[in-house]
A = this chain, B = another copy of it.
Amino acid sequence: MTASRPRRATLPDVAALAGVSTAAAGRALGGYGSVSEDVRRRVAEAARQLNYRANRLAASVRTGRTDTIGVVCADIESPFFARALRGISDVAHEHGFSTLVTNSDEDLASEREAVQLLLHKQVDGIICAPADVTQVDHLAQAQTGGTPVVLFDRVSDHLEADAVVVDGMKAAYQAVRRLLDLGHRRVAIVAELRQPREQDWARFLTPQAEVSLGELSPSEARLLGYLRAHWDAGVPVRRELVRRTGTYAAEAAYQQTKRVLALKNPPTAIFTVDNLMTVGAYRAIRDLGIAVPDRLSVVAFDDLDWTVLVSPALSVIAQPVYEMGAEAARRLIRRLRDPEPAPPGTLFMDVTLVERESVAPIPT
Q: What is the interface of chain A, defined by CB distance below 8 A to chain B?
A: 5, 8, 51, 53-58, 60-61, 66, 68, 75-77, 79, 82-83, 85-86, 89, 98-103, 117, 119-122, 141, 145-146, 250, 279, 282-283, 286, 304-306, 308-311
How far apart sit A310 and B305, CA to CA, in the bound complex (Å)? 12
How far apart sit A121 and B55, CA to CA, in the bound complex (Å)? 7
Q: Which residues of B contact A5 (CB under 8 A)?
A: 146
Q: Which residues of B contact A103 (CB under 8 A)?
A: 86, 89
Interface centre among A66, A75, A145 (most CB of B within 10 A): A145
Q: Which residues of B contact A89 (CB under 8 A)?
A: 76, 101-103
CB pair B56–A121 under 8 Å, yes or no, is yes
CB pair B309–A145 under 8 Å, yes or no, is no
Closest 9 pairs between A and B when the two form their complex, measured CB to CB: A306-B306, A56-B120, A77-B86, A82-B82, A77-B82, A58-B61, A57-B122, A57-B57, A57-B60
How far apart sit A141 and B52, CA to CA, in the bound complex (Å)? 11
Q: Which residues of B contact A55 (CB under 8 A)?
A: 61, 120, 122
Q: Which residues of B contact A99 (CB under 8 A)?
A: 101
Task: List 13 additional contacts besides A8-B145, A57-B60; criterion CB under 8 Å.
Answer: A51-B141, A53-B119, A56-B121, A61-B61, A75-B86, A76-B76, A79-B82, A89-B102, A101-B101, A279-B306, A305-B306, A306-B310, A310-B310
| Shortest Cβ gap from A233 to chain B (Å) | 31
How far apart sit A60 and B117, CA to CA, in the bound complex (Å)? 14
Nearest CB in chain B to that of A99: its residue: B101
CB pair A120–B53 under 8 Å, yes or no, is yes
Question: Which of B79, B86, B145, B286 is A53 in contact with, Cβ under 8 Å?
Answer: B145
With A82-B82, A89-B76 as known contacts, state yes or no: A98 contacts B98, CB within 8 Å: no
Show 16 residue pairs from A and B whose CB-CB distance is below 8 angstroms, ordered by the A residue. Answer: A5-B146, A8-B145, A8-B146, A53-B120, A56-B122, A57-B57, A57-B122, A68-B121, A75-B86, A77-B83, A98-B117, A99-B101, A100-B100, A304-B305, A306-B310, A310-B310
Question: Which of B122, B250, B304, B308 is A283 in contact with, Cβ under 8 Å?
Answer: B308
| Shortest Cβ gap from A292 to chain B (Å) | 11
How far apart sit A61 and B58, CA to CA, in the bound complex (Å)? 6
Nearest CB in chain B to that of A83: its residue: B77
Q: Which residues of B contact A98 (CB under 8 A)?
A: 100, 102, 117, 121
How far apart sit A55 and B119, CA to CA, in the bound complex (Å)? 8
How far apart sit A120 and B86, CA to CA, in the bound complex (Å)? 22
How far apart sit A11 and B87, CA to CA, in the bound complex (Å)? 37
Nearest CB in chain B to that of A78: its residue: B82
How far apart sit A282 and B58, CA to CA, in the bound complex (Å)? 51
Q: Which residues of B contact A117 (CB under 8 A)?
A: 98
How far apart sit A83 and B99, CA to CA, in the bound complex (Å)? 18
With A5-B146, A76-B89 as known contacts, state yes or no: A305 contacts B279, CB within 8 Å: yes
CB pair B309–A311 under 8 Å, yes or no, is no
With A102-B98, A309-B283 as known contacts, state yes or no: A61 contacts B57, CB within 8 Å: yes
Nearest CB in chain B to that of A87: its residue: B77
| Shortest Cβ gap from A65 to chain B (Å) | 11
Q: Which residues of B contact A77 (CB under 8 A)?
A: 79, 82-83, 85-86
How far apart sit A79 and B279, CA to CA, in the bound complex (Å)? 14
Nearest CB in chain B to that of A85: its residue: B76
Interface centre among A57, A89, A103, A120 (most CB of B within 10 A): A57
